[in-house]
Structure 1
Amino acid sequence: MRQPKVKTFVITGGGTGGHIYPALAIARGLTERYPGCRIEYVGGYHGLETSIVPRAGLPLTKIHCRGLERRISWQAVRALGETAWGLSEALWLLRRRRPDLVIGTGGFVALPVVMAATMLGIPAVIHEQNAYPGITNRLLASRVALVMLTFAEAAKRLKARRTVLTGLPVRTEIMTAERQAGRRFFQLPEKGQVILTVGGSRGAQRLNEAMPVVAQALASLPDAYLVHVTGEPHLASVQAAYRQVGMDESRLRILPYLERMEQALAACDLCIGRAGAAFLAELTVRGLPSILIPYPFAAENHQEANARSLVDAGAARMIVDRELTGETLTPLVLELLREPATLTAMGQAALTLGKPTALTSIIDEIDQLLQKG
């Protein structure tokens, strides 16, 4: 009896964790759906994929790539040259591998790899994490068979053959962590109100400066507790700021970094943080109300577009970074904590946006495409 052909996939996406982690989730889903399949990750020489992908146990091939410039300059010429170099490397690689499918999740490296696939007639799909698509996916959308979306509004900014709203894959631990276990992890009482503040892996300076002012006002709410993930560079200064305002240390948990984010999300009643797509996917699958402060230097200001999608649905409030101070944040935090019904309604709205089956939806779409041949 003839054995079925082993599936081969090339996955590409890089630069930041926002492109890499969804790619790794898709790789995990493919491995579960197609046991024994071969997966090769193609990344750049300088992005975070150089360390993250090998740790995930996937073979990594590196090609040249550089972000495209919008203005005519020597940097723009160099970027075009490196992209062309990367395209030639990708063409050579894909001719040798002949994968069944190429999957791109954005970032500079995805452009030459997915472009090469479409030039060679190899089926290709892309996943767009943000409400405002990046330049790579905008350039590729019309060439690939399918664009999978996290935010529905991204479709109107893409000239795509076909789009489908799948959501963004979220780790199982995020969805299954229990509230009581989260409270025990931080040694917090079960009945108090917990605020989680997180500004990304390196922290958010303006948010770190604002929260001690908020903490001072929390004295009027004796059952309010604060978990603050500062980012490694900011730990000492944030600790000093909390001491200066006299925050009761029994109601405060300060960490430079948190690997067990699922425990913090399970424990909290209100989350304050940036508006990266992966973080918002986690908030929505858990149904958490939030105050979002979009990172102002994100490409195409995509974090503000992400945040507005939650605000428009009633799931979040937003303060733009330039307007964030302790004085602007404090009244909003107190208002929400004093109105449990509002927090509940925001959480329910967030839950309607969540896509807990995002990974299954993505793999189903890929499976249908492969079956069509």
Structure 2
Amino acid sequence: MRTIMFTGGGSAGHVTVNLALIPEFLKDGWQVEYIGSTNGIERTLLESKPEVRYWPIETGKLRRYLDLQNVKDPFKVLKGMTQAYRIIRKQKPAVLFSKGGFVSVPVVFAAWLNRVPVIIHESDMTPGLANRIAIPFATGVCTTFPETARSQAGGKYRHIGPIIREEMRQGRKERGRALCDFHSGKPVLMMMGGSLGARRLNEVLRESLDELLERFQIVHLCGKNGVDGTYRQRGYKQFEYVNEELPHLLAMSDIVVSRAGSNSIFEFLALEKPMLLVPLPKGQSRGDQLQNAESFRRLGYCDVLQEENLTAERFMERVLHLYANRQSYREAMREGNENQGDGLAAVRQWLLSAARK
């Protein structure tokens, strides 16, 4: 039995592509293993797949700011690299697939030391810090945006398009309504801030809640520690985080308000959900979400509201505009989807080819 190993973590976005690929290899009879952090979200998400062996390692965090932990973290990374090297040497995977995040850096380097081919996936327009460090040790890099492959020198980069989990296409509206105690007579707005949440987005939604509830039922994915029990209005349902429920909640949603993480917005695109994107501003990120959102805006897939302009009044105005023009957004997304290839099949073939070599 051949073995494939996955890595990636820190946020749900660094795991979802792995979750799309893993069932394909399990179905084909591969032994599937995963190296992740000891307490990261990737470990929680992999609990639903007991057939996948999970290997926890020590890991630090790649910070762009001064912090006392920056002194300790290099030692954690070195320990994690040693652990990953021993795991890979013992398990002898035919190939490693890395989705990124800080946990992936020592794993990719350990695979390179063990002469295991590595395929990296980059969701955003430009590679993140972890992937920039890891790419020199990789066999190839899959890109979601065509601009990424065109802008990078060398033969490692290949545009394969978005990888959409099959279960995302299997949501049922009635199941979503049952989860939220909603009815079919009123449109649904979904607010989604990512697995770690979006504090400012949560605040503005709640400032506008009474006015919004006159027009919409609202399902609010608040992020970690984001649920506020003081808001109990009918038609407003809060979740800290969802996993298996997400396809059903999206199926019933008419419009979506979200950050601009690549994995999420490509899932909204695949499902033709009109979206208002509020990307993380430059001061809170490296600017990748700003680039993602602008690319989608140019193609007519979304409206964009910058966080520095985010007030309750403007938020309400843009939500109503999005809903009023929802059909034009759907038409643009339908045309875009017709031009998309099968990213899942493309990366699977690349992994099989790398494993054979």
TM-score scaled to structure 2, two decimals?
0.84
**Within the alignment, does 1:56 sit opposite 2:39 as a pair?**
no
- Tell me by how many angstroms 1:220 deviates: 7.9
- Equivalent-residue separation in structure 2 for 1:129 and 1:261 (angstroms): 20
- Tell me by how many angstroms 1:118 deviates: 1.9
* Preserved CA contact (<8 Å) 2:219 2:237: yes
- Tell me by how many angstroms 1:230 deviates: 3.9
Of the three residues 322, 338, 345, the one matched with 2:308 is 322
The SS at the match of 2:102 is coil
Distance of aligned partners of 1:190 and 1:351 in 2 relative to their CA distance in 1, 3 Å threshold: farther
* Preserved CA contact (<8 Å) 2:95 2:354: no
- Tell me by how many angstroms 1:216 deviates: 4.9
Matched with 1:197 is 191
- Tell me by how many angstroms 1:157 deviates: 6.2
**Within the alignment, does 1:295 sit opposite 2:289 as a pair?**
no
* Preserved CA contact (<8 Å) 1:288 1:351: no
Matched with 1:313 is 299
Matched with 1:227 is 219
What does 1:1-373 align with in structure 2 at a 5 Å threshold? Answer: 6-33=1-28, 35=29, 37-57=30-50, 58-69=52-63, 75-155=69-149, 158=152, 161-179=155-173, 182=176, 190=184, 192-201=186-195, 203-212=197-206, 214=208, 216-217=210-211, 224-231=216-223, 233-236=225-228, 239=231, 249=234, 252-257=235-240, 258-259=242-243, 260-296=245-281, 299-348=285-334, 351=337, 357-371=342-356, 373=357
The SS at the match of 1:239 is coil
The amino acid that maps onto 1:40 is E
- Tell me by how many angstroms 1:280 deviates: 1.2
Matched with 1:3 is none
- Tell me by how many angstroms 1:291 deviates: 0.0
- Tell me by how many angstroms 1:292 deviates: 0.8
* Preserved CA contact (<8 Å) 1:292 1:317: yes
- Tell me by how many angstroms 1:314 deviates: 1.0
- Equivalent-residue separation in structure 2 for 1:180 and 1:347 (angstroms): 24
RMSD: 3.1
- Tell me by how many angstroms 1:12 deviates: 1.4
- Equivalent-residue separation in structure 1 for 2:64 and 2:224 (angstroms): 33
Distance of aligned partners of 1:227 and 1:219 in 2 relative to their CA distance in 1, 3 Å threshold: closer
Structure with max Cα Rg: 1
- Equivalent-residue separation in structure 2 for 1:214 and 1:349 (angstroms): 33
The SS at the match of 1:114 is helix
- Equivalent-residue separation in structure 2 for 1:197 and 1:91 (angstroms): 41
- Equivalent-residue separation in structure 1 for 2:340 and 2:260 (angstroms): 15
The amino acid that maps onto 1:177 is G
Which range is displaced more, 225-234 or 117-126? 225-234
- Tell me by how many angstroms 1:117 deviates: 1.9
TM-score scaled to structure 1, two decimals?
0.81
- Equivalent-residue separation in structure 1 for 2:12 and 2:189 (angstroms): 25
- What do the CA deviations read for 1:146-177 (whole angstroms, capped 9, x no partner)? 11122223335655532222334333232133
- Equivalent-residue separation in structure 2 for 1:65 and 1:148 (angstroms): 24
The SS at the match of 1:142 is helix
Gaps of 5+ in 2: none
- Equivalent-residue separation in structure 2 for 1:336 and 1:315 (angstroms): 11
- Equivalent-residue separation in structure 1 for 2:311 and 2:236 (angstroms): 21
* Preserved CA contact (<8 Å) 1:65 1:109: yes
* Preserved CA contact (<8 Å) 1:150 1:165: yes
- Equivalent-residue separation in structure 2 for 1:100 and 1:215 (angstroms): 52
The SS at the match of 2:5 is strand
The amino acid that maps onto 1:116 is A
- Equivalent-residue separation in structure 2 for 1:206 and 1:72 (angstroms): 24
The amino acid that maps onto 1:360 is A
* Preserved CA contact (<8 Å) 1:133 1:157: no
Gaps of 5+ in 1: 1-5, 244-248
